[in-house]
Chains A and B, each alone.
Chain A
Amino acid sequence: MSQQSVLYDTLGPKGRRNVRIGTALGLVVVAAIVAWVLWQLEASDQLEAERWGILFDTESGVPQSLGRALLNTLRAAAIGMLFSMILGAFLAAGRLSDHAWVRRPVDVVVQFFRGIPLLLLIFFVFLGLPQLGVNLDLFWSLVAGLTLYNMAVLAEIFRAGILSIDRGQSEAGYALGLLKTQVMALILVPQAVRRMLPAIVSQLVTLLKDTSLGFVIGYFELLRQGRSIVEFLGPRYGLQIYVGVAAMYIAVNLSLSLLARYLDKRTSRNPKIVFDPKAEEVEPVVPLGRE
């Protein structure tokens, strides 16, 4: 935690004593919280090993059905990601267009879908569209809602990424006589993609989390599956199954978040992309043709 040097000087004897006292008090606070949770769990007999064993007991079929539900979650997320990336790219291109008759309507579409709650969109697709004669099944209702919302958010990320590239880059491209599409495809997009990667990945984490809204319309993703297992087995295993479901979400999302952090670090370390005085000190010359 080197960043904390902003706040604290190197401590003297008095300061060190204070830190020791604070650390001790902090330990007491944390211990008190843990003790309260354990006590609450024990008081309602939730700590029995047999209850937690259900999560790993293959004979009960619980791990299998949770695994299948995880696949359902991932399937909805993957297809939603794919569609929203493709549509988002088109929308971003539209927003960057030189023609007002393309730009304006696309602006409206993006702002609209970004501005309303995702759940309202999903409900509209699921409950509203059938009244208008369009029937999608549960899976596609969820994916359609996720896509409509995330394509707008991703379009904004893409656009911001392209605009963040130094103007000299595109000017140099035009000076060489490239067309706008060429400047985009050859100069701006390759640079923007690396810069946007962390933001894109964290939006994809959000999308993955939002698949849990499938629960609301009855799509059998992790949460809905967990609920139906508990309805089947009775409340005895309720807490254990729910904690298992939450742990699965956290595990999947945490690994994606770590990926985002890794990409962020990698990108900001590359002196070709971001000017970083420290990196410049370490590596004064950027060798030509690296990578």
Chain B
Amino acid sequence: MTAIVENLDLYWSGFLTTLSLSLLAGLLAFALGTLLAAFRVSPFPPLQALGTFYVETFRNTPLTVVWFFAVFALPLIDVTLPSFFVAGVVALGLYTAAFVCEAVRSGINSVAAGQAEAARAIGLTFTQTLRLVVLPQAFRTVVPPLGNVWIAMVKNSSIGAAFAVTELTAVATRLVNTYPADVIAIFAGSATGYLIITIPSGLMLGVVERKVVVLR
């Protein structure tokens, strides 16, 4: 236990790094993912192709490889990111965007065709159909999968430990050599940090899900 008590500040800064890394990457992923989903459901073939290419590439590349590219490969083409933390935000955000895109897209596709047909039948324009009928329903179906993407992303941020971001996992690996007797407590400490983020997220998600659920 001494390992944790003596290094509480280290754990705290690791926790904050994990949290801020996840939040910033989450924002990037959400913005980019929504844009990509719009591309994929748009009627413009070049944009559809762009969206599909992006999603298939990033979904089938391990996050470790994406992160590796952000840290080691970008400098080779003279694109240097200001810090390891920024590289982490970029890698995690770009990777997760592909999953956000798929969640949003499947939400839009899950709206029954009859809904849009009925909207058109009563004379709503395209924007009205989208804004009043399709998107509100799509949004509700999208909440649970998006929540799962967020939780998975928080856990994925642990890969930062391998690329010089001192987050929760890195804290554990750093302490383990100094306090060999406290191995289990050290790792449990880091695991608790993740659970502090993921469990409330899961609970909040359940509440939101129950609030916005539609019976179809």
Closest CB in chain B relative to A129 CB, distance in Å: 8
Given contacts A7-B134, A19-B43, contact A212 B62 (CB under 8 A): yes
Within the assembled complex, what's the spacing in Å between the Cα atoms of A25 and B162? 41
A107 to chain B, nearest CB (A): 15
Report the bound CA distance from A30 to B51 in whole Å.
10
Cα distance A33–B46 in the bound complex, in angstroms: 12
Complex: A46 Cα to B45 Cα, angstroms: 30
Residues in chain B near residue A11, CB distance under 8 A = 43
B46→A29 contact, CB < 8 A: yes
Q: B116 near A119 (CB under 8 angstroms)?
A: no
Q: Which residues of A contact B77 (CB under 8 A)?
A: 40-41, 43-44, 46, 239
* Residue-wise interface mask of B (99-139) relative to A, using a CB-CB cutoff of 8 A (1 in contact, 0 not): 00000000011011101100010000010011000100000
**How close is B40's CB to chain A, nearest CB, in angstroms?**
9
Is B44 touching A216 in the complex (CB atoms < 8 A)?
Answer: no
A257 at the interface (CB under 8 A from B): yes
Q: How far is the CA of A123 from the CA of B167 in the complex (A)?
A: 14
- A119–B187 touching, CB < 8 Å: no
Contact stretch, chosen from B5-13, B84-92, B152-160, B207-215: B152-160
Which residues 112-147 of A sit at the B interface, judged by CB distance below 8 A? Answer: 115-120, 123-124, 127-129, 131-132
CB contacts (< 8 Å) of A6 on chain B: these are 108-109, 111-113, 115-116, 134
Across the interface, do B46 and A26 meet the contact criterion of CB distance under 8 Å? Answer: yes
CB-based contact A23/B46 at 8 Å: yes
SS class of chain A's interface: helix, strand, loop or mixed? Answer: helix
Interface 9-residue window, one of A54-62, A93-101, A246-254, A277-285:
A246-254
Assess the B61–A216 pair: CB atoms within 8 A: no
Q: Which residues of B contact A238 (CB under 8 A)?
A: 72-73, 76
Contact B45 A23 (CB under 8 A): yes
CB proximity to B under 8 Å, residues A223-268: 223, 227, 235, 238-239, 242-243, 245-246, 249-250, 253-254, 257
Contact (Cβ within 8 A) B73 A242: yes
Chain B interface residue count, Cβ-Cβ cutoff 8 angstroms? 64
Q: CB distance B78 to A44 under 8 Å?
A: yes
Q: Interface size for chain A: under 10, 10 to 19, 20 to 34, or 35 or more residues?
A: 35 or more
Residues of A within 8 A of B61 (CB): 209, 246, 249-250, 253
- Tell me whether A116 and B194 are in contact (CB under 8 A): yes
Nearest neighbor of B173 in chain A, beta-carbon distance: A123
Contacts of B42 in A (CB 8 A): 22, 26
Q: Are A120 and B158 in contact (CB under 8 A)?
A: yes
Please, what's the 1-or-0 string for B160-172, where 1 marks a CB less than 8 Å from any CB in chain A?
0110000011001
Q: Chain B contacts of A118 at CB under 8 A?
A: 155, 158
Contact A213 B159 (CB under 8 A): yes
> CB < 8 Å: which of A7, A132, A210 contacts B108?
A7
* Complex contact A46–B76 (CB within 8 A): yes
Q: Is A181 an interface residue (CB 8 A)?
A: no
- Is B49 interfacial (CB 8 A cutoff)? yes
User: What residues on A are CB-neighbors of B79 within 8 Å?
Assistant: 40
- Chain B residue nearest to A214 (CB atoms) is B64
| Other-chain contact of A7, B57, B65, B130 (Cβ < 8 Å) | B130
Residue contacts A-B, CB under 8 angstroms, 18 given: A1-B48, A6-B113, A6-B116, A9-B126, A22-B43, A23-B45, A25-B44, A26-B45, A115-B194, A117-B158, A209-B60, A210-B62, A213-B62, A213-B159, A216-B162, A235-B76, A242-B68, A242-B72
B-binding residues in A (CB < 8 A): 1, 3-9, 11, 19, 22-23, 25-27, 29-30, 33, 40-41, 43-44, 46, 115-120, 123-124, 127-129, 131-132, 205, 209-213, 215-216, 223, 227, 235, 238-239, 242-243, 245-246, 249-250, 253-254, 257
What 8 A-B pairs come out closest when comparing CB atoms? A26-B46, A117-B158, A212-B62, A253-B60, A209-B62, A212-B64, A216-B162, A117-B155
